[in-house]
Amino acid sequence: MKKRNYWPLFFIGIFTFTLGMIFWTISSAIKTPVHEDESFLISYHNLDRDFNKIVESNAEFLQEYDFVLSINAQKLKLDIQDVYYSQRVLDKKSLHKDLYKVGDNSIVFFVKNKKTQENEKITIKFNISRATNSYSDLNYDNASLEQKNNTYSTIVKIDKAGNLNITGFVETKTGKKGYFFIKSNAI
């Protein structure tokens, strides 16, 4: 009697299993939803294309206006520098550490004309989001802010500690736009 060799079946089994895992990986990846980064409230495709325009727009904006964003009485300037840093680098060298606290946070915006020294009427859109996903995004615009003497304010409730980004833009009635992107954390 001839002895059977089962090694070819073993290799066929491994090949079939590997091929099945490849198809399973591809189908799982297709079914997983994509969370696109919307820094500056535009798609990452447009951000990639227009980033230099955003930097130039901020420079032009700051020639005519003073921008103040106050988070829990800590005043911040029009800044997009944090977009260059990872969260670990920010922990070491950021000026924006511990801006938020768990609970209620006061956020105030105003733009002052450098020539007239008066607060300007502005259009604001901004978003506060977790650094990891977009499930807990908090979106704001003029309609959701309290306005008094061209100063815009709101109270933001943060449920849990963690890394947060605040990103958005302000636009004056003359059409000048200033963009901001600030990474921080809630303690």
pLDDT tens, position by position, 144-180 = 888 888 889 999 898 888 888 888 999 999 899 999 9
pLDDT < 70 regions, the chain: 1, 34-37, 134
pLDDT, residue 1, reads 61
pLDDT, residue 78, reads 87
Cα angle 125, 130, 134 (rounded to 5 degrees) comes to: 75
- Report the relative pairing of strands 103-113 and 65-71 from DSSP bridges: antiparallel
Alpha-carbon Rg for the chain, nearest whole angstrom, is: 25
The fold for domain 39-186 equals: Immunoglobulin-like (2.60.40)
pLDDT, residue 35, reads 65
What is the distance between the alpha carbons of residues 64 and 119, in angstroms, rounded to a whole number? 12
pLDDT, residue 26, reads 94
pLDDT, residue 125, reads 93
- 80 token code pair: 């997009």
pLDDT, residue 57, reads 93
Do residues 181 and 83 touch, judged by C-beta distance below 8 A? Answer: yes
